[in-house]
Amino acid sequence: MSLAAHVVRTREALTAQIEGVDSLSRRAVVPTMGALHSGHATLIERAREYVGDSGHVTATIFVNPTQFAANEDFDRYPRSLQADVEVCARHGADLVFAPEVGEMYPDGATQVTVDPGPLGLLYEGAVRPGHFQGVLTVVNKLFNMTQAQVAFFGEKDYQQLVLIKQMVRDLSMGVMVIGVPTVREVDGLAMSSRNRYLAVAERERAELVPNAMKVGVDVANAGGDADAVVVAVEKFFDDSGIDVDYVVVTNPDLGPAPVGGEARLIVAVRLGSVRLLDNTSIQLGARQ
């Protein structure tokens, strides 16, 4: 482990660095789009803990155009490379790979892409068509480029995490994917680079999202089934000024909700023009 993170902007320089790593060292990657916050810092710390002092941690910073639709925020997505590099170094990354778009896509968007399958069409995939194809394709490229053995992603983007695990399993990729629990602000709001889009009044109202999750947890703990949880959370948002994209309860792999046992409550809402996602584990049938 080094005290300062080395920054590389080209694939060639990345390969040279990775090839210089002792072949017995464990190699981890933390893929990000930058605008790093404490959630990302935690991912880097988990990666460092996992590989140990002799291991190697690469953080990637790349705002991937192919996962944004034409009407989305690719152009205004926050970019803060210098500050991000400092976060990476402080929390234990050895190397930062921060390529330009042309370095990742020298021939334009790839002709071959990763098809996320049926799960990629649900929830975020329904609201953002093509999004997960872009995510899985770039994550696949980043795994190949960094030659990582283990990769860390936040649970905050739960569907993304499940799909990346599915890709690794289905395509027999040699990377272990580890999900890390969501890091939250003091009022419970899940940390996200996009939270900085919220106006002051919107930010205050955004605490209703974690509050809604608590309502769902309470209903489940009181013995409510999946439908009861969804109805209670949707009702909580009525007249809140928050528009609901979807509220769902699934099993932990995003399949149908179980009658009892561990499930996932997933919420996507809009506050003005800002979309907020959250999810939490719940126990259905807790009282039975």
Q: Which residues are catalytic?
A: 40
Nearest residue to 90 via CA among 101, 100, 82, 98: 82
Phi, psi dihedral angles at 179 (to 5 degrees): -90, 140
Q: For residue 34, count other CB atoms closer than 10 A to its CB.
A: 23
Minimum distance from CB of 64 to ligand PAF (Å)?
4
Minimum distance from CB of 185 to ligand PAF (Å)?
18
Residue 61 within binding range of ligand PAF, rule CB under 6 A? no
Residue 39 within binding range of ligand PAF, rule CB under 6 A? no
Minimum distance from CB of 138 to ligand PAF (Å)?
5
Residue 43 within binding range of ligand PAF, rule CB under 6 A? no
Residue 14 within binding range of ligand PAF, rule CB under 6 A? no
Minimum CB distance to ligand PAF smaller for 184 or for 205: 184
Return the residues of window 131-170 that contact ligand PAF according to CB under 6 A. 135, 138-139, 157, 160
28-36, 168-176, 252-260, 264-272 -> range binding ligand PAF (CB under 6 A): 28-36
Minimum CB distance to ligand PAF smaller for 139 or for 249: 139
And the tokens for 217? Answer: 């947890």
The order of strands in the sheet holding 95-97 is 6-8, 95-97, 56-61, 27-32, 150-154, 176-180
Separation between Cα atoms, residue 286 and residue 223, nearest integer Å: 5
Inter-residue contact 161 to 234 (CB < 8 Å): no
31-39, 50-58, 72-80, 211-219 -> range binding ligand PAF (CB under 6 A): 31-39
Minimum distance from CB of 16 to ligand PAF (Å)?
23
Inter-residue contact 135 to 161 (CB < 8 Å): no
Residue 64 within binding range of ligand PAF, rule CB under 6 A? yes
30-38, 106-114, 220-228, 240-248 -> range binding ligand PAF (CB under 6 A): 30-38
Residue 31 within binding range of ligand PAF, rule CB under 6 A? yes
Minimum distance from CB of 260 to ligand PAF (Å)?
32
133-167: b or e for each residue (b if 16 or more CB lie within 10 Å)?
bbbbbbbbbbbebbbbbbbbbbbbbbbbbbbbbbb
Minimum CB distance to ligand PAF smaller for 77 or for 246: 77
The SS3 of residue 247 is strand
Tell me which H or E stretch contains 190.
none
- Please select the residue that binds ligand PAF; options are 33, 59, 163, 263, rule is CB under 6 A: 33
Its sign, for the CA torsion 49, 168, 255, 161, is positive
Minimum distance from CB of 134 to ligand PAF (Å)?
8
Separation between Cα atoms, residue 200 and residue 137, nearest integer Å: 36
Contacting residues toward ligand PAF, per CB under 6 A:
31-33, 64, 67, 135, 138-139, 157, 160
